[in-house]
Structure 1
Amino acid sequence: MNVEDVIAERIAAARRKAERERAERLARRKARARGLAQRHAAKLRHLAQSKPPDDPAAA
């Protein structure tokens, strides 16, 4: 292997690493969005099942 081959391999490895990290960030972002949506839906279900306050000023 000459120097150019070594450099080309390092560049390829860096690109693979960057792509892997990009995919991991995307997966985390999607998981977070999914979790937030589930949490919000649970909150709305809870609010729909809860009794409204008896405070006349709130109405």
Structure 2
Amino acid sequence: MDVNDIVQERIDAARRKIANDKKRRLELAEARKHGLTRRHAQKLAHLLRSQGTGQGGAARTYAREAQEGENR
């Protein structure tokens, strides 16, 4: 094993680490996106309940769309 082999191993290890870090960031971003959607839907549902039935048409639509997107 010479210096070039050692350098190549380090380069390969760095590439694997970069790929794993990127995959982890993507997974976390996806989880965060779904969590935020759920949180917003819950918040809007709470607002609708606290305001009564006469208001919040746009909020109701957004809450329904958020829940439908969550169920996909």
Bin for the TM-score computed over the shorter chain: 0.7 to 0.9
Q: SS at the partner of 1:30?
A: helix
1:14 maps to which residue?
14
Greater length-normalized contact order (CA 8 Å, ≥ 6 residues apart): 2
Matched ranges for 1:1-59 at <5 A: 1-52=1-52
Shift of 1:50: 1.7
* TM-score normalised according to structure 2 size: 0.65
Structure exhibiting the larger radius of gyration computed from Cα positions: 1
* TM-score normalised according to structure 1 size: 0.78
Rounded Cα–Cα distance in structure 2 between residues aligned with 1:36 and 1:51: 22
Taking only aligned residues, the RMSD between alpha carbons, in angstroms, comes to: 1.1
TM-superposition CA deviations, 1:3-28 (whole Å, max 9, x none)? 11111101000000001111111111
Shift of 1:36: 0.5
Which structure 2 segments of 5+ residues have no match? 53-72
After superposing on structure 2, the runs of 4+ consecutive aligned residues of structure 1 that deviate more than 4 Å are none
Q: SS at the partner of 1:50?
A: helix
